[in-house]
Homo-oligomer: A and B are copies of this chain.
Amino acid sequence: MIVTVGSISLDTTRTPFHTAEEVLGGSGSYFTLASSFFTPTSLIGVIGTDFPPSHMKTLEQRMDTRGLEVKEGRTFRFDSSFGYDLGVRTANKTELNVFGDWTPKVPEEYRAADYLYLGNVGPQQQLHVLDQMDGPRLTVADTIEFWIENQRNALAEVISRVDGMLLNDQEVRQLADTTNIIKGARAIMDLGADFVIVKKGEHGAVLLTKHMIFPTCGYPLESIEDPTGAGDAFAGGFMGHIARRGRQDDQTRKEAVIYGNVMGSFVVQKFSVDQLLTLTEAQIEARYRKYKEMVTF
């Protein structure tokens, strides 16, 4: 079982081609909808009393929701826009609502889980979740620029206590204060992580351990509808594959990075989490094989 903590939001996403209003979003939703194809996943998160029953049903069908807390008030909302190249997101409005001062609680029955993914919540909240666990075999954490800027010490403690960090290239540069992502990833390993995965959006991802570099390219796509959630879906594919194999050797980690790329490539082909709702395991395996065939020489 994978346990994860992350946000659950109602997203309004605007591209020059389409606007989706109050659709299911949040790092926890994307991660879990992706990882649950591989391994049963339990999501720790918070929603308001206004959370639409249809979204609740979507989550219930795919994950253990006993860790979902319903708090009096409004659900976290995020309104953002993409320009024509879908490369740069502009935040229009962020309403944290019930997510703002939430303290995540790990249900008793989750504490013995072997796999823990600390999605994008604050480092203090990540540490709080980590403190409640019995000692997972693999813990991986994500973060965002806001926490790097505002809670660097707590974040350093997170890094010292997890096995792996999953960051995008910009976050690596900011956290390690270097323009070179390889150097940056090594500096983050010096803080205590055994491995770092640098996500580079459409350009793929690089896995670094103390003795290995595994650079990968993104799965080539001819059209993208909504880049939201690609990094979280990547994380879901990565953790999901490792958990289903029950192994953490180099080969399994490499495969997991490719499953990460594959899940990230699916999610951007439709708005919101839509692609993750209709996808099949057979399609995931087919794209993995196609990717492998494409890059082999």
Contact = CB atoms under 8 A, between A and B. Distances in A.
Contacts of A66: none
A266 to B, nearest CB: 16
A198 to B, nearest CB: 10
Interface in A199-241: 200, 203-204, 206, 212-224
Contacts of A281: none
A260 B297 CA distance: 14
A31 to B, nearest CB: 23
A220 to B, nearest CB: 5
A295 B221 contact: no
Interface string A236-259: 000000000000000100110010
Given A200-B203, A203-B203, A206-B220, A214 B297 contact: yes
A154 interface: no
B85 A179 contact: yes
B215 A218 contact: yes
Residue from A200, A206, A215 with most neighbouring chain B CB atoms (10 Å):
A215
A203 B222 contact: no
B214 A294 contact: yes
A84 interface: yes
Contact of A297 (B85, B203, B223, B258): B258
Given A200-B203, A203-B203, A216 B295 contact: yes
Contacts of A206: 217, 220
Nearest to A83: B179
A214 B292 CA distance: 10
A183 interface: yes
Contact of A220 (B179, B215, B224, B297): B215
A79 B9 CA distance: 50
A86 B179 contact: yes
Nearest to A205: B217
A58 interface: no
A223 B180 contact: yes
B216 A217 contact: yes
A63 interface: no
A204 to B, nearest CB: 6
A133 interface: no
Interface of A: 84-87, 179-180, 182-183, 200, 203-204, 206, 212-224, 251, 254-255, 258, 292, 294-297
